[in-house]
Copies of this chain bind each other. A is one copy, B any other.
Amino acid sequence: MSDFDYTPSESEALLLNYGQMESPASTSYNSRGGANGRASSNRRVSSDEELLDTMIVGGNLERSTGFANKELDPRLHGSSSLMDTLDDLPPGIGQYEDFHTIDWLRDVARDRMRHRQVVKKKQDGCLEYLKGAHDAWSGWMCVLLVGVAAGALAGVIDIGASWLSDIKEGICRDAFWLNKEQCCWSANDTTLDEERCSQWYSWAEMVGMKSSGGGSYIVRYFFYITWGCLFALTAAMFVRVFAPYACGSGIPEIKTILSGFIIRGYLGKWTLLTKSVGMMLSVAAGLSLGKEGPYVHVACCCGNIFSYLFPKYGSNEAKKREVLSAASAAGVSVAFGAPIGGVLFSLEEVSYYFPLKTLWRSFFCALAAAFVLRSINPFGNDHLVMFYIEYNEPWYLQELVPFILIGALGGLYGSLFIKLNIKWCQYRKNSVLGKYPIIEVLVVAFITTLLSFPNPYTRMNTSEMIRQLVSRCGPEDTNDLCDYQRNFSDPKSYMSSTYAGGGVKRAIWQLVLALIFKGIITVFTFGMKVPSGLFIPSMAVGAIMGRLIGIGMEQLVIANRYSPLFKNMCQSDCAITPGLYAMVGAAAALGGVTRMTVSLVVIMFELTGGLQYIVPLMLATMASKWVGDALGKQGIYDAHIRLNGYPYLDNKEEFTHTTIAADVMRPRRNDPPLCVITQESMSLEEIETLLKETEHNGFPVVVSVDSQYLVGFVTRRDLQLAIANARKNVEGVVSDSIVYFSNQIPSNTVGPAPLKLRKILDLAPVTITDQTPMETVVEMFRKLGLRQTLVTVNGRLLGIITKKDVLRHIIQLQNQDPDSILFN
C-alpha cells in the first residue's frame, strides 16, 4: 500500500539537485526562503480567517441541516450562524507542507468562502466597505505591482548586463558606469565609425598599448577570458551561497509549481535577488545562455512576493497561482516585448489552471510590464528588445519550400539538443562532476570565452548577433553580412538582391563556425548551476542556420533569375531578404527546443510587427514541431521536469491507454487492506497509533470496517492538529476517548468524554468506481486539480488513487521504470 502523497523522506529527492554534497533538507534552504518566512508570519496573523476557511472542509453538515428551505432565498445564503461554532478548530488547518501537492478544489472553495465573508461584512460599515473594495481591487492591484516590478527589474537587468558585457572589452574612462554605446554618445564624437570613439578605451589601450596590432589583440583576448571567467565564477558563487534555487531557467520548476506543487523558497526574495544579479553576470560572462527564460522566473518571484501583500492571494495557494500565471506572462512580455505572446506563452506553456479572468489579468500584467520597460528604454531604441525589426519586404510562394526546410532543420536541431542535453545532465547528476558545480562553470566559461573571442559573431553579445542576422542590409550597414556587389550611389539598389561580395563569403565561414560552436557549447551550458535561459541561444543557432540558407537561396535565385521557377521573384531585380530567413530559422529552432506553437508564432509576429510574415513563421513552426515530435515527444522543459522527477501531470499529453481505475488503485491485489478510520468506534489511542505507524497523508473514514461504506476523508495534517489541540484544550479527552466522525453521538456513553471531529472531515471526497477508465480518471485529476480520489464499488470503499499513483502509472505505461525516474 502506498502513502497518499509525498512524504518528507521522498521529498528530499525532489529538491533541485544542487550538487550532491548538501543535505537537501538542510535548514540553509529554509532560512533563506525569504518570502517563505514572511508567509508563515502572515499566516499566523490571518489565522482567524483560516478558521472560517476550514468551514468548507468541515462545515458541510451544519449547513445542510434545515438548509433546503433556505435555498430559494439568496439573501439567507450568508453563513453567519455557523461561524461561531468553529472557534474550537486549531489554527493551521488547511495549509500545505513543503513538497506537497495542493488541493485545487478545496483552495478555490476556501477562497469563495472568504469572498462571501467579505461581501457579507461589507454592509457592516464604512471601514468594512472599504475593506471589501480593497478586496475587489486587490487582484488588479497585485498584477499591476507585479507587472511594474517585472518591467523595472528587466530594465535594470538589461542595463546591467549590457554594461558588464562591455566591460569585458573595455571601459569608459571618464564615466566607468556607462556602457560602450552610452559612453560614445556622451563623448559626442563626430565620427560615424561605430567601432571606436574617443571616450571608450579597450583594455589594451588602458594598459598603455596601441589600439590595434598583435600585442593589443592578445591583451584584449586575455582580458576577455579573465573577465568572462570572473563573471561566471561570481554568478556561480552567488547561486551557491545565497540561493541554490536561482540556477537554470526556472521554467520547469514554475510549470511544476503552477500545476499545484509546493516548493518553498523557490520564488522567494533571495532567489529573486540572486537570480537577477546572477543573470547579469552569466550573460555578461559571454556564456551561451540568455536572460529571456529567467525573466519568467524573476517575474514569478515578484508575483509571489507581492501576493503576500494581499492575503487573498498570499494565503491561498490556488489563488496565488493565478498571480503567478500573470507574472509569467509579464516575464515573456518584457523578454521579447510581446505582451500578447507572453499571455499565450503563459496559457500554452506554463499555466495549468487558467480561467478567463486570469487571461485578462495576465494581459494587463504583461502590458504593464512592457509599458514600464519601454519607459525605461534600456536599449535606447524605443523597442523592448534588441532585435526588434520592421520589415516590409514581400515574400513569394516558392520561398515556402526553404522556409519549411528551415522548420524541419529546426525541429531536428531541437530534438538533438534535448537528447544530448538530457544525457549530459544525467551524466552530471550521476557522476563525480555533479559535486563540483563551480569548477564546471569555470571550465565551461573558459572554453566559451577562449573559443568565442576570435570569431566576431561569437564574441559579440548573442542578442546583438541575432539583431544583425535578422536585419536587412540598408545603406548604413557596413558589416560583412551586407557586403554585396552594389552600386553604392543608388539607394534603390538596397531594395534588391545582388551577388555576394567578399565580406559575405567571409561571414559565411564565420557563421558556420559560430553555428557549430554555439550548437555544441549550449548543450553543456544549459543545466549548469548559474541562471541560464535557452531562448536566446536557440534562436541564435536558428538565426545563423536561417541566414545561411537565406544567403544560399538569394544567390541561387540571382544565378537563375531567368529560370521559370524564380521568374516572378525577379521582375526587374530579385528581392530576397536573408534576414527573414534568419527570423524564420530563429522561430524554427526555438520551436524545436521548446515545442511552443501559437505563443511562439505570436512572439515572432510581435517581434517583426507585420502580419504578412505570419504564414512563413507558422509553417516553419509547424514543420519544426512535427519533425521534433516525431523524434521525441517532450520539449526541453518537460524533459527537465522528468529528469528532476517533479510530480507534474502533463495536461497536453493525451492518456491513450485502456487501463481502468482498478488497475491503478492501492491497495493492490495482494497488499494489506487500506488503512481506514471508522466513524464511531476507534479510540484516540488507536488513531494516534495509526498516525505513528503509517505515513499516509490522509485516511478515508468508513461506516465500519466490515461494510466499508464510505463516509468521508480526513487529511493527516488536519487530524494531527485537531488531536493535539484536543489533548491540550478539551477537557476529559484521554487516550481511551472514542473519536466520533458521525453526526449524532449516543448520549448514553459510558467512559471518557468523546472527541468530536466531524468538523475536520471532508464529507465530499471525490469518488469513482473501480470500472472508471483511467483516461477519465486522468481527466478528473487534471481538470479538477485533485490530490486523490477514492475508489468504490457498489458504494463500498475499495481503494485510493493519488496523484502520485497516476503519475507512476503513466510512466509505467511508457515502459519506463517508475521508481528510478519519478523520484531519483
Residues of chain A having any CB pair with chain B under 8 Å: 56, 60-61, 63-64, 67-68, 71-72, 74, 77-79, 105, 108-109, 112-113, 115-116, 337, 339-340, 343, 347-348, 356-357, 359-360, 363-364, 367, 370-371, 597-598, 601-602, 605-606, 609-611, 614-615, 618, 622, 651-652, 654, 656-664, 668-669, 703, 709-712, 763-773, 775-776, 779-780, 783-784, 792, 794-796, 809, 812-815
Known contacts A659-B77, A794-B710; is-contact A601 B363 (Cβ 8 Å): yes
Task: Report chain B residues within 8 Å CB of A61.
Answer: 771
Task: Report chain B residues within 8 Å CB of A652.
Answer: 356-357
Is the Cβ of A109 less than 8 Å from the Cβ of B775?
yes
Main secondary structure of the interface of A (DSSP, over half): helix
Task: Report chain B residues within 8 Å CB of A68.
Answer: 662-663, 668-669
Q: List 9 A-B contacts (CB under 8 A).
A: A56-B773, A61-B771, A68-B662, A116-B658, A339-B611, A363-B598, A710-B794, A763-B769, A792-B795
Known contacts A611-B606, A764-B769; is-contact A794 B356 (Cβ 8 Å): no
Is the Cβ of B660 less than 8 Å from the Cβ of A60?
yes
User: A773 contacts which of B109, B709, B795 (Cβ < 8 Å)?
Assistant: B109
A-B residue pairs, 9 tightest by C-beta: A795-B795, A764-B772, A763-B771, A60-B771, A709-B795, A783-B783, A360-B597, A709-B794, A71-B663
- CB-nearest residue of chain B to A56: B773
Chain B nearest CB, measured from A694 CB (Å): 24
Is the Cβ of A764 less than 8 Å from the Cβ of B775?
no
Tell me, in angstroms, the Cα distance from A115 to B656 when the chains sit together.
9
User: A64 contacts which of B614, B660, B809 (Cβ < 8 Å)?
Assistant: B660
Chain B nearest CB, measured from A681 CB (Å): 15
Add 15 more A-B contacts to A63-B660, A74-B815, A712-B769 (CB < 8 A): A64-B660, A64-B770, A67-B659, A67-B660, A68-B668, A77-B657, A108-B775, A359-B598, A364-B618, A371-B615, A764-B771, A764-B772, A764-B776, A767-B767, A780-B784
When all copies of this chain in the complex are counted, the total is: 2
Is the Cβ of A611 less than 8 Å from the Cβ of B614?
no
Residue of A339, A360, A766 contacting most chain B CB atoms (<10 Å): A360
User: A764 contacts which of B64, B347, B773 (Cβ < 8 Å)?
Assistant: B773
User: A605 contacts which of B109, B340, B662 (Cβ < 8 Å)?
Assistant: B340
- CB-nearest residue of chain B to A384: B611
- CB-nearest residue of chain B to A615: B371
Is the Cβ of A812 less than 8 Å from the Cβ of B72?
yes
Is the Cβ of B814 less than 8 Å from the Cβ of A773?
no
- CB-nearest residue of chain B to A669: B68
Tell me, in angstroms, the Cα distance from A652 to B356 when the chains sit together.
7
Task: Report chain B residues within 8 Å CB of A779.
Answer: 105, 108, 784
Task: Report chain B residues within 8 Å CB of A814.
Answer: 74
Tell me, in angstroms, the Cα distance from A370 to B611 when the chains sit together.
10
Task: Report chain B residues within 8 Å CB of A347.
Answer: 359
Tell me, in angstroms, the Cα distance from A815 to B73 when the chains sit together.
7
Residue of A359, A656, A764, A814 contacting most chain B CB atoms (<10 Å): A764
Chain B nearest CB, measured from A384 CB (Å): 9
Tell me, in angstroms, the Cα distance from A792 to B775 when the chains sit together.
23
Is the Cβ of A615 less than 8 Å from the Cβ of B367?
yes
Tell me, in angstroms, the Cα distance from A545 to B659 when the chains sit together.
61
Is the Cβ of B77 less than 8 Å from the Cβ of A658?
yes
Is the Cβ of A765 less than 8 Å from the Cβ of B769?
yes
Task: Report chain B residues within 8 Å CB of A359.
Answer: 347-348, 597-598
Tell me, in angstroms, the Cα distance from A374 to B505 when the chains sit together.
38
Is the Cβ of B764 less than 8 Å from the Cβ of A74?
no
Tell me, in angstroms, the Cα distance from A614 to B343 when the chains sit together.
14
Chain B nearest CB, measured from A346 CB (Å): 12
